[in-house]
Amino acid sequence: MRVALVCPYAWDLPGGVQSHIRSLAAHLRTRGHEVLVVAPRSSRTEAEDGVAFVGRTVPVPANGSIAPLAFGPRSATSVKRVLGDFAPEVVHLHEPLIPSLSLLALLQSEAPSVGTFHASADHSVGYALGRRPLGRIARRLSVRTAVSDAARELIQRYVPGGYVLTPNGVDVEAFANAVPAEVGGGKKVLFLGRLERRKGLEVLIQAMARLRELGAELLVAGSGSQAKEMRALAQRLLVDARFFGRVDDEEKAALFKRADLYCAPGLGGESFGIVLVEAMAAGTPVVCSDLPGFREVAASSAVLVSPGNAGLLADAIKRVLTDDSLPTRMGKAGAITASGFDWGRLVGNVENIYRRAAEENVHA
């Protein structure tokens, strides 16, 4: 089957949606499908096999973060041309109702379409303001899916209808068999994510300042608007922290494999928590905020803490790092949980959804 996967966010920047599409494309190709990723970029980047770059992104504040989106008549013309040349049997649109390539593709493509919704939040100003027109546009989707109950709850609030659950997936084997990063001895607490307020790194640094007696080092992987501020905070609070900046997939897996604990102290807006699954796939104990998206994935395998509370977070980290048997138990439980999100199990369901979309288009 010829499948076009349309990404709304800059392909050359890190993000959960980009990671999801990249992994899905790879697994679809291993199963014999012809796949083209259509995505914008934030700057000039090298050509990539199987990816058509369309449009240059601009940063747009959204959901407590900055979304790199591409829109406008030139992007619309280009995405129509790319899809016309590829002639997909199914177009899989990620976040199809935000103002970027996926929405442009939905408005112009005549191919059967699958729309996957990723975002989670207490509310959405954009969806609220555009409720009526977005509802009409959503009818163009052959099948609607959401990556979690939290994501499904958000979109259903503004665009009612049926949404199939299609969880994010990971390549479990790649994380389970990763070679641990060589980052020296001692206990290591890992943070991996964008350095922006809603990811909660500030809270984690404050928690680590309460745990100096443990001698644990904080490893920070990621980039973002708060990078300088977080380095300065760690220095001011005398927290032993090492900042790696952006890391590639191999480096990420190696850090997960080496860490004694992975901490995701997010403050909100997390629809799934793919990084939790990646950490658990590596056998690493997880301490994370008690958010709906995180709870849905890791409640039985992680230690959950009220978001934004540095004291409670410090207590949870200390409990895991100082217990002789808890890390092993958590690692085993997490590995079992992660196995349920392996792409090898999930990709067949996505293929079924593509077939359903094609069949419904035929009978429309």
The model's confidence at residue 362, banded by pLDDT at 50, 70 and 90, is low
Residues 259-265, mean pLDDT to the nearest whole number = 98
| 207-245: pLDDT as tens digits | 999 999 999 999 999 998 899 999 999 999 999 999 999
Q: Pick from 61-70, 291-300, 347-356 the range whose average pLDDT is largest.
A: 347-356
Q: What is the mean pLDDT of the chain?
A: 94
At residue 229, φ and ψ (nearest 5 deg) are: -65, -40
Please report the pLDDT score of residue 39 as a whole number: 97
Query: Does 265 score more than 70 pLDDT?
Result: yes
Please report the pLDDT score of residue 161 as a whole number: 95
Please report the pLDDT score of residue 211 as a whole number: 98
Query: Does 46 score more than 80 pLDDT?
Result: yes
Check residues 46 and 187 and name the one with the higher pLDDT: 187
Please report the pLDDT score of residue 47 as a whole number: 86
265: tokens are 């102290």
Domains of the chain: 2-169+342-363 (3.40.50.2000), 172-339 (3.40.50.2000)
Can you give the pTM of this predicted structure? 0.88
Element (H, E) at 115: strand 113-117
Please report the pLDDT score of residue 63 as a whole number: 67
Distance CA 305, CA 315 (A): 9
Angle at 165 between CA 101 and CA 1, to 5 degrees: 60
Tokens 């068999």 label which residue? Answer: 177
Which is nearest to 169 in space by CA: 333, 2, 345?
Answer: 345
Distance CA 273, CA 218 (A): 20
Query: Does 12 score more than 70 pLDDT?
Result: yes
Distance CA 54, CA 69 (A): 11
* DSSP 8-state code for residue 170: B
Which is nearest to 344 in space by CA: 148, 176, 180, 145?
Answer: 176
Check residues 193 and 64 and name the one with the higher pLDDT: 193
The model's confidence at residue 293, banded by pLDDT at 50, 70 and 90, is confident
| 121-175: pLDDT as tens digits | 888 999 999 999 999 999 999 999 999 998 999 999 999 999 999 999 999 999 9
Query: Does 30 score more than 90 pLDDT?
Result: yes
Q: What whole-number percentage of the chain has pLDDT above 90?
A: 86
Element (H, E) at 36: strand 34-41
| 78-134: pLDDT as tens digits | 999 999 999 999 999 999 999 999 999 999 999 999 999 999 888 899 999 999 999
Query: Does 295 score more than 50 pLDDT?
Result: yes
Tokens 């076009």 label which residue? Answer: 4
Query: Does 247 score more than 90 pLDDT?
Result: yes
Angle, in degrees to the nearest 10, between helices 326-339 and 310-322? 100
Angle at 281 between CA 312 and CA 169, to 5 degrees: 105
Which is nearest to 53 in space by CA: 20, 88, 18?
Answer: 18
Distance CA 317, CA 323 (A): 10
* Residue type at 182 in one-letter notation: E
- The sign of the CA dihedral 117, 123, 124, 127 is positive
DSSP code string of 214-239: GTPEEEEE---TTHHHHHHHHHHTT-
Check residues 161 and 362 and name the one with the higher pLDDT: 161
The model's confidence at residue 363, banded by pLDDT at 50, 70 and 90, is very low
Distance CA 67, CA 112 (A): 27
Q: Distances from the Cα of 59 to the Cαs of 45, 56, 65, 69, 161, in angstroms?
A: 17, 10, 10, 6, 30
Query: Does 364 score more than 70 pLDDT?
Result: no
* Tally of CA atoms within 13 A in the half-sphere of 68 that contains its CB: 21
Distance CA 309, CA 343 (A): 34
Dihedral of CA atoms 137, 139, 140, 141 in degrees, nearest 10, equals: 110
Please report the pLDDT score of residue 335 as a whole number: 96
Q: What whole-number percentage of the chain has pLDDT above 70?
A: 98
